[in-house]
Amino acid sequence: MLIDPIYPKSFASDNHAGVHPDVLDAMTAANHGDAPAYGSDRWTTAFECQIKEAFGSEAEGFAVLNGTGANIVGLSLMLGRYDAVICPESAHIATHETGASERLLGVKLITVPTEDGKLRPHHITSRLGALGTTYEPQPRVVSVSQVTELGTCYSPGELAALAQTAHDSGMRLHLDGARLANAAAYLDCDLRTLTTDAGVDVFSFGGTKNGALAAEAVVVLDPSLAHAVPFLRQQSLQLASKMRFVSAQLSALLTDELWRRNAAHANAMTARLVAGLEGLPGVSLVFPAQGNAAFVVLPKNATAALQSRYLFHYWDEDAGLVRWMTAFDTTPEQVDDFLDDIRKAVGA
């Protein structure tokens, strides 16, 4: 029934890419005979060991099904009935999850305007007046995204400062790491540097946007929190019965740092794209492109012309701002063709 794919090249999202061959191979290899369900299988054991190798012996990894699920499971470990989360106004949990935090967790998100999607310590300290005030939800968690939703990265030092600020006031630091791999590739550092070593308490490690099919990990670095995950993962609809196939995906990404190779390539393609935009009339980069996304303002007629041949969306239509993303499988030729078309569209 299905015909050949006819979708144009997409620069809309790293979710528009397919699955890396190594990931698909790992899934296929796991399809052999019976295996216990719900994680009592050795693909899952292997994944759990790889998490400890990557993040330290106290790290515990739990495979889940999607990014919003990873955020909700992770946050649910740290939040009680009258608690609040401090996060940037641009946070995925605040803007793109259909209010899952409010409805499934019952928490208030204290959203902070930022210039570039990055929270700073003073953003936290200036919101702590609520602590101890019975008519306000209590800030218990600071949540940041790495890479941010605006394509910027926190340095290890910036993350450590956020962790310190949170901990100093009895809060925990949560990191939405849907694109954590891209950050580690951009910063040329270990995953551990951005998480365990920085003082993060709970984070997600994204697979889907980086070459997996549908696999994310919730990683718990505070050992007092891990016992609750199996209950909350199942209740939160994030437990796969045939878990081996989810674990195999994550395991493939963690093997020989496939995550880094995929992310580094995606980042390089965005860098190539951004470099090619230099000096084009009416085209300007809005945020530093520190991952695999470029936020670009360009003339609306140019956008219209390009959208007839490529998939991508407005981030802010009034401002003429679009988001362009590259993925593990974007080729230099595709970027160069796109740049050619951009140049034509803006009359350069």
- Of residues 157-176, those binding a copy of itself (CB under 8 A): none
Among 58, 115, 223, 241, binds a copy of itself (CB under 8 A): 241
Secondary structure letter of residue 105 according to DSSP: I
What residues between 301 and 340 interact with a copy of itself by CB under 8 A?
Answer: 311
Helix spans in the chain (H): 21-30, 42-55, 67-76, 92-95, 100, 121-125, 156-168, 180-187, 229-235, 244-254, 258-277, 300-307, 332-345
**Sole window of 104-112, 117-125, 165-173, 292-300 interacting with a copy of itself (rule: CB under 8 A):** 104-112
Q: How far is the CB of 344 from a copy of itself (least distance, A)?
A: 21
Q: What is the amino acid identity at position 39? A: G
Position 32 contacts a copy of itself (CB under 8 A): yes
Q: How far is the CB of 70 from a copy of itself (least distance, A)?
A: 9
3-state secondary structure of 69: helix
Position 36 contacts a copy of itself (CB under 8 A): yes
Tell me the C-alpha distance between 67 and 89, whole Å. Answer: 18
Closest CB to a copy of itself among 57 and 81?
81
**Sole window of 152-160, 225-233, 276-284, 288-296 interacting with a copy of itself (rule: CB under 8 A):** 225-233
Burial label, 189 (beta-carbon count in 10 A; 0-12, 13-18, 19+): middle
Structure token digits, residue 37: 């369900």
Secondary structure letter of residue 9 according to DSSP: P
Contacts of 134 by beta carbon, 8 Å cutoff, 6+ apart: none
**Sole window of 106-114, 194-202, 274-282, 295-303 interacting with a copy of itself (rule: CB under 8 A):** 106-114
Tell me the C-alpha distance between 279 and 297, whole Å. Answer: 13
Position 145 contacts a copy of itself (CB under 8 A): no
Among 146, 195, 196, 236, binds a copy of itself (CB under 8 A): 236
**Sole window of 72-80, 165-173, 194-202, 286-294 interacting with a copy of itself (rule: CB under 8 A):** 72-80
Structure token digits, residue 149: 């939703």
**Sole window of 89-97, 115-123, 261-269, 339-347 interacting with a copy of itself (rule: CB under 8 A):** 89-97
Among 54, 59, 63, 65, binds a copy of itself (CB under 8 A): 65
